[in-house]
Amino acid sequence: MGSAGPDSGAALRSYRNGYVNPDPNTPITGSTWFWGYEADSQLQGNYLVFQGDGGSVNHTEFTSTSGDWSEENLDGFGPTLQAEWIHRLNVEWSWSLLGSFFYAQFDAEQSGSTFAATHTSQVRTVTDSYDLGGLLPPAGPYYGDFAGPGPTLPASPSSRVYGTSGAEDDRYSNRVRQSFELNLLTFSLGPTLEWHRGHWGIQASAGVAVNVARWEASQQESLIKNGEEIKSWLDRDAQTEALFGGFLQAAVHRSLTNDWHVSAFVRYDWSQGLEAHIGPSKVNVDLDALTVGVMIGKTF
C-alpha cells in the first residue's frame, strides 16, 4: 500500500498534490476538515481530484528440484602389481597365496540447474476523487489543519482509479557445477588355485581387500539474474578413507620361457561405499567394480 492509503475508509492519505487525513470528529461524522489541495485544476465538476502513490504489486513464481544426478560408470585405468608364493601339489595343480596392489584414478563432472524464478514488480499510481456534495472549496492552494474548524470533505474517496508508473520483470536461475576425483589404492590378499598343462595355466582367486580412497570434490553454484551472474558460492573438500571389501579373480596365462609368462585377468571387487559431503550436497559412490587387465610375470 502506498501513501494514498487504502481504497476506502478514513486513513492518513498523502498525495502528490494534497492530503486528506482524519480529524477528531471523523469517527462520528465520516468527514474531515484536515485536508488540503494545491491547485484549482483539481476541481473537476462536483469532485476534488488527487493523484498519489498506490504502492506496488509484486508477483513471484519459482520452481525447484532436488538436483539428483547420476553417473552410471566411473571408468579409469592404472597399474597393478601381484606377488604369489606358489606350492605345487602335483604336475597339473598348485596353490598359492596371492597378494596384489592396484591403483586407479577416476573423475566425474556434472552440471545443471535446480532453480528458476520470475519476479514481477509493478509500481502503481492512484487517482482518488472526493465528492464535494455542493461544497465550494476555498481557492487553491488550501491547507486545513487537525485542530480546525474548516470546510469538510468525506474522509474516504468516492472512487479510485489505478494506473501504472513502472514495472520490472526479472528472471532468475541457478547453475550448479560439481566435480569429483577419486584416487583408489587397493591391497588384496587371498589364496589361489591353479591348473596348468604345458605352456598354459588357469587361476582362480578370492580373498579380502582394503581400499584406500583419496577423494577431492568441489561444487560451484551461481545465481543468475536476467542472464548475468549476481552471486556465486564455492565449496571444496578432500579426505582419505579406508574401506574394506573382498574380491574374486580369474586369470589365464601362457609361459614364454621357463621364467617369464604373460597373463590376462578379470576381477570383481566388493567394497564399502563412499559418501562425500560438499557444501549443501552429498555424493555417493558405489565402489563395487569390474577390472580387466594384462600382466607380465616372472618366476623366481
* Helix or strand holding residue 182 (H, E): strand 159-197
Give the pLDDT confidence of 186-202 residue by residue, as tens digits: 999 999 999 988 899 99
Distance CA 259, CA 3 (A): 97
Domains of the chain: 13-61+122-171 (no CATH), 76-116+174-298 (2.40.160)
| pLDDT value at residue 57 | 87
User: Which residues neighbour 251 within 8 Å (Cβ) at sequence distance 6 or greater?
Assistant: 202, 203, 205, 263, 264, 265, 266
What pLDDT score does 258 carry?
84
Are the CB atoms for 104 and 134 separated by under 8 Å? no
Q: How do residues 273-283 score in pLDDT, each as one tens digit? A: 999 888 888 88
Cell of 232: 556465486
pTM above 0.85, yes or no: no
Count CA atoms within 13 Å of residue 174 on its CB side.
Answer: 18
Please give the pLDDT value at position 86.
87
Q: Can you give the pLDDT of all 300 residues of the chain as single tens digits?
A: 789 999 889 999 999 999 999 999 999 999 999 999 999 999 998 999 999 998 888 889 988 887 788 877 788 888 999 999 988 888 889 999 999 999 999 988 888 899 999 999 888 899 999 999 888 889 889 999 998 899 999 999 999 999 888 788 899 999 999 999 999 999 999 999 999 888 999 999 999 999 999 999 999 999 999 999 999 999 999 999 999 999 999 999 999 988 899 999 999 999 999 998 888 888 899 999 999 999 999 988
HSE at residue 154, side-chain half, CA atoms within 13 A, is: 17
Query: pLDDT tens digits, residue range 26-73?
Result: 999 999 999 999 999 999 989 999 999 988 888 899 888 877 888 777
Question: What is the predicted pLDDT for the residue at 125?
Answer: 92
